Structure 1
Amino acid sequence: MPTILWYIHFLACFIGLAYLPFSKMLHIFVSPLSLLANAVMEKGKSEPANIATRQVMELDACTHCCTCTLNCSAAVFFEIFPNTNILPSEKIISIKALAAGKELSEKELRHIQEGIYLCTNCNRCTVVCPVGINLQDLWFNIRESLLKKGYPEFFALSPLSFYRGLMKEAGDGDNYQKPLNQTRKAIADRCELMKMPDKVLALSNIDSAFKGILNKSDQANTFSGCFSCETCTTVCPVVAGYDNPREVLGLLPHQIMNACGLGLKDLALGSNMLWDCLTCYQCQEQCPQGVCVTDILYELKNEAVQQVKEKSLQ
């Protein structure tokens, strides 16, 4: 009997060692390697192949302790968007599946892309990670890789793109504008009226539901006070930057207010002015009627994105 137990003991040890690389316990060995690699590798001086190797190793080094999620400044987005990939600790799991070459559906890939884009790049996750994973660089590289697949990312039109703009030279500078153009095209394709500027519109086709959406907001419901004095358009620095702003921007600020008042949803949501707006609030501050022009443009941006996003994920 003792001999049998002795063999069982040794077999169990060898089986355990053989299974170790395929289990969650692999991080016992990989975590110290991750700390050492990040200590000696300098940003900007390491070869891309070495960085890729380190990042693959970091995926196994993660202990899923959720310290990054507890300190994440973007984790609050999860209360609005039911996407677990917003949380850093859950992003790692999805990225591991992606790196392992698993077949992921378009919906799954877009959820990963959205979760990675919903990041303020505050670097908290990297600072607090107990195994030294450079999470900020990992998010950046995976985000650029997913954007090359051609799926529109609507958060690319938000201030969350600020860090990506700063890192333009570090990424693929030639393709920097491509995701933005794809996203704007996806929105414009849903707004048929903007493609027919000479069409005579029947005012009987007013979208009352669209006006109802705007009326639910304390800021956006002020569009009804506009009497087309064009003060907002006159003081707008974006409009002033073009010789022929109508050709470039589509509708001008006062015309967008008119489109809202008439319930012409396609015109209000399809104008380039929405996305070129600097949010300087000059139009809103100068409006004699107190119309919250900039806040209305914000509401229209959100509505345009929501409308296209729901249809594109169906």
Structure 2
Amino acid sequence: MHILAVFLGLAYLPFSKMFHLILTPLSLLTNAVMGPEKSNSINVMTRQMMELDACTHCGTCNQYCSAMMVYKAWGNPCILPSEKMTFLKLMAHGKSLNQAQRGAILEGVYLCTNCDRCTVVCPAGINLKQLWLNVREELLQQQEAPQPIMFSPLSLVRSLNRQDLPPETYQKPLTATGRALAGDFKVLTEPAKIFSLPINAVSYQDARLLANNFTACFGCQTCTTSCPVVKNYENPEAELDLLPHQIMYCLASGLTEIALGSRMLWSCLTCYQCQENCPQQVQVTDIFYELKNQAVQNLAEINALKTMKIRAN
């Protein structure tokens, strides 16, 4: 009878909350001898699957998380490391999550600053930083809706690790998001297409907070000559679509849609060189910020309408 009880207990152990009693020591041992540089990718994936069950949900990582204040501002629990582990465990076990839950997890792993604090303080020895990087990429490839957050400085770590990804895999979500943010305006993606200027166009400065500041621009192109992004290319117009001074021209002509679709807008480093060197003190970088916010807001409204149509059907 005792032998039967022991075997039943061992069979039930992987499905219970006590499984970490075995996997936590194994996690400590494997992380002591394994590294992403020397280990096979399949072995790393197996270790990370084991780490999901090794987590005791003690919350120590939450106390040291540098994104804690973002969680308090946004209210998304998946920003916290231990809460991400809970949802990732459900995904690993084959549980189906709706689009909102998957979006919350993706937002949580993308807002991670990769400071490595959670990995350092984890009592189970889980390599959380590497786990977030792998999960982030997997979710990005599976996510159907475009993610504007990819064009934020939070993508720096992904860019630094692009050598670990195939070129098409790295570029796929960026291309999809760029097309979505550009909207239905195809002038930049189809340069040969002829288009007409709006007769009664409402210029950008008539409806923006920086209107009075923008009117001082007289097209000296200092913003373009001082931009480090422009200097990075031999043929910047082919790579960036529009240069900073050309974006200003578009806004003055009421062609806001063209500016929103420009790769220059989303390649901007926000270094403020254009704004600091402008002889007329035009707030070029701040105008770029407003354009980005407008594009993201437009995309959010489009996605909300699509969701409403899907639910209605």
- Measured against aligned partners, the alpha-carbon deviations of 1:115-148 in whole angstroms (never above 9, x if no partner) come to 2111111111100111111101111111222222
- Counterpart Cα distance in 2 of 1:242 and 1:129: 44
Moved more, 174-183 or 233-242: 233-242
1:156 alignment partner in structure 2: 150
Unpaired runs of 5+ in structure 2? Answer: 308-313
2:169 alignment partner in structure 1: 175
Find the structure with the greater CA-based Rg. Answer: 1
- Counterpart Cα distance in 1 of 2:48 and 2:236: 46
Task: Give 1:186 shift.
Answer: 1.8
Number of paired residues?
Answer: 302
Q: Is the CA contact (8 Å cut-off) linking 2:60 and 2:122 kept in structure 1?
A: yes
1:35 alignment partner in structure 2: 28
Q: Is the CA contact (8 Å cut-off) linking 2:148 and 2:181 kept in structure 1?
A: no
- Counterpart Cα distance in 1 of 2:3 and 2:211: 72
- Counterpart Cα distance in 2 of 1:310 and 1:26: 44
Q: What are the equivalent positions in structure 2 for 1:123-162 lying under 5 Å apart? A: 123-149=116-142, 151=144, 152-162=146-156
- Counterpart Cα distance in 2 of 1:81 and 1:256: 32
1:3 alignment partner in structure 2: none
CA RMSD for the aligned pairs? 3.2
Change (3 A) 1:11 1:222: farther
Q: Is the CA contact (8 Å cut-off) linking 2:54 and 2:124 kept in structure 1?
A: yes
Q: What are the equivalent positions in structure 2 for 1:1-150 lying under 5 Å apart? A: 19-149=12-142
Q: What are the equivalent positions in structure 2 for 1:232-247 lying under 5 Å apart? A: 232-240=223-231, 245-247=236-238
Q: Is the CA contact (8 Å cut-off) linking 1:193 and 1:266 kept in structure 2?
A: no
Task: Give 1:237 shift.
Answer: 4.1
- Counterpart Cα distance in 2 of 1:221 and 1:63: 56
TM-score (norm. length: structure 2): 0.82
Q: Is the CA contact (8 Å cut-off) linking 1:192 and 1:266 kept in structure 2?
A: no
Moved more, 80-89 or 65-74: 80-89
Unpaired runs of 5+ in structure 1? Answer: 1-6
What is the percent sequence identity of the aligned residues? 53
Moved more, 221-230 or 117-126: 221-230
- Counterpart Cα distance in 2 of 1:34 and 1:275: 41
